[in-house]
Amino acid sequence: MRQNLVVALRVAALIVLLTAAVAAATAAHPRDADHTEFAHELDRGAVVQVALPDSSSSSIDDETVWTATWSTGPFQWRRGPITDRLQTPVAEFTTAMRARGVRVTTKDDDAELLAWPLRGPPWVTTVIGLTMLATLVAMLSSRPIYGTRWAWFWMFVIGQLGALLYLVLEPAPLWRRGTGSAHGPAAAGDPEGAGPRPPRSRWNGLQGVAWSILLLMAGAMASSGIGWLAARVLP
């Protein structure tokens, strides 16, 4: 019973974080759109969020905006002109959008290889953040099988996708039944396989850093692929 509950919680957390990762990928790779499309979507009430660049102009006192990233849903992001003027004051644009119920935020111009831009409603970002925190706490309070806590810590922080990999592998791969032995039949006197032993030494902290770099690169490529696919499949 306890094993089934643990597996169910792992699957639920994995679904939450996978959904967040896909949403982040589509947000990081919006498709190009013109102002006509933005105006049309705005008029029919489909635009839910506009993410302005942090530095829209060289003058802080007279900040203006012309292009930005905007969304009609968690997986539908576009980038292009959002006004019919080259220099529209940010304050004026923000006031007009909020009057229509559109959420206006800012984003950093210098994007990283892979980022988790939590640009959704507050309750969504709260769920994602609590899920990430719970997964991290579960890792730190257990004795992982495939890597040390330091290895997993670096994969969480640097690799960013380490939490997803941890939920799939620890304490036993999800494709194996229960949370018993992750590496073969149970030992004699331990029919339930409650004490899994790795067949080799666990990844140490240095190996965790190396895996983190590979995870970061793989995540960036996957993010680009998901963004490209979403731009062509979603309306």
> Hey, what long-range contacts does 55-62 have (CB within 8 A, 24 or more apart)?
55/109, 56/90, 57/87, 62/89
Q: In the chain, which residues fall in CATH 3.30.720.210?
A: 30-107
Q: Is the pLDDT of residue 82 over 70?
A: yes
Task: Extract the tokens encoding 46.
Answer: 């489909």
Confidence band of 111 (pLDDT split at 50, 70, 90): very low
pLDDT at 200: 61
By 3-state DSSP, what share of the chain in percent is helix, strand and coil, each rounded to 5?
45, 15, 40
Q: Kindly list the strands in the beta sheet with 103-107, ordered across the sheet, starting from the edge strand earlier in the chain.
A: 31-32, 76-81, 67-73, 49-53, 103-107
How far is it, in rounded angstroms, from Cα 218 to Cα 223? 8
Per-residue confidence band for 184, with pLDDT thresholds at 50, 70 and 90: very low
Percent of the chain past pLDDT 70, that is, above it, reads: 78
Q: What is the mean pLDDT of the chain?
A: 78
Instruction: Report the predicted TM-score, pTM, of the whole model to 2 decimal places.
Output: 0.70
* pLDDT single digits (tens) 215-233: 888 888 888 888 778 777 7
Could you give the C-alpha distances from 11 to 35, 48, 121, 220, in angstroms and in order? Answer: 41, 29, 23, 23
Q: What is the pLDDT of residue 107?
A: 65
Q: For domain 30-107, give the CATH number.
A: 3.30.720.210
90 falls in which pLDDT band (50, 70, 90)?
confident
| Mean local confidence (pLDDT), 158-181 | 79
